[in-house]
Amino acid sequence: DSGLCCTHPYQASSIFRAFPPPLFWTRSKLFRELLEAKMYSLLSGLYRYMTEKVQYQVLVLGLDYAGKTTLKEQCQRIFGDKNKLGTPSIIQERMTPTVGLNIGKLEIGNTKLLLWDLGGQEGLRVIWQNYYAESHAIMYVVDATDTHRLREAHSELKSLLSEKSLEGAPLLLLANKQDMKGAKDEKYIAQFMDSDTFARERKIKVLGISAKQGTKVKDAINWLLKEIPICHRTSQVKLESL
């Protein structure tokens, strides 16, 4: 038997000559320390994986009065810490047009979404380009009741998606104000905005929503959470771990 278990004095002394006690125990202690360090590293990495949040930036764009800020506010209400059920609430107040930038912050699981709500007035659209390079996705909001401005909305979207710095960014095209009489449905908006053409170069989703009532707003955000991490563009845009 070649095991280390022994009872004969000579056999025991031979083992201790081969492994002097100080060296034997030093090695044993070192092994335990290495094992503890490895376990600590493993548990520490697991803890970071479970608690660390990855941050994505999402552009919220569209013409003025499309309902972008109302959408941002509704997203924050649905995904807020106090709203455990994730249910929407009706936003009664009328939002004034954004001048500059409004930022909405959503924390969902291990993901943090920053919603960059930019002013849609004609004179303010020039600042949109300052945020393209660091954006992971686009939410483009259309007032589905304002048929007189659909051509303008389409023109701005077409110009937006031609930008090299937004190449491959997933597009969420939102036909807003579905709670109002006369609103065009998502199929009509998709055709008018020529979404099939844009879909050749990026992932695109068209949804009819009501930012005011919260209808399908949760579906919109869930689509972003699904598409952004698997998008090729995401690996090219700097990620921030929080």
Q: Which residues are annotated as a binding site for GTP?
A: 62-69, 120, 176-179
**58: number of CA atoms within 13 Å, CB side?**
32
Of 121, 129, 191, 236, the active-site residue reads 121
- Three-state DSSP state, 59: strand
206 DSSP β-pair partners? 173
Going by the annotation, the residues of the binding site are: 62-69, 98, 120, 176-179
Taking the CA atoms of 157, 126, 229 and 218 in sequence, report the sign of the dihedral they define: negative
DSSP 8-class letter at 162: T
User: Is residue 55 among the annotated active site residues?
Assistant: no
Spatial contact of 223 and 229, defined as CB atoms under 8 Å apart: no
Spatial contact of 204 and 196, defined as CB atoms under 8 Å apart: no
How many Å is the maximal CA-CA distance in the chain? 102
Going by the annotation, the residues of the binding site for Mg(2+) are: 69, 98
Return the active site residues.
Answer: 121
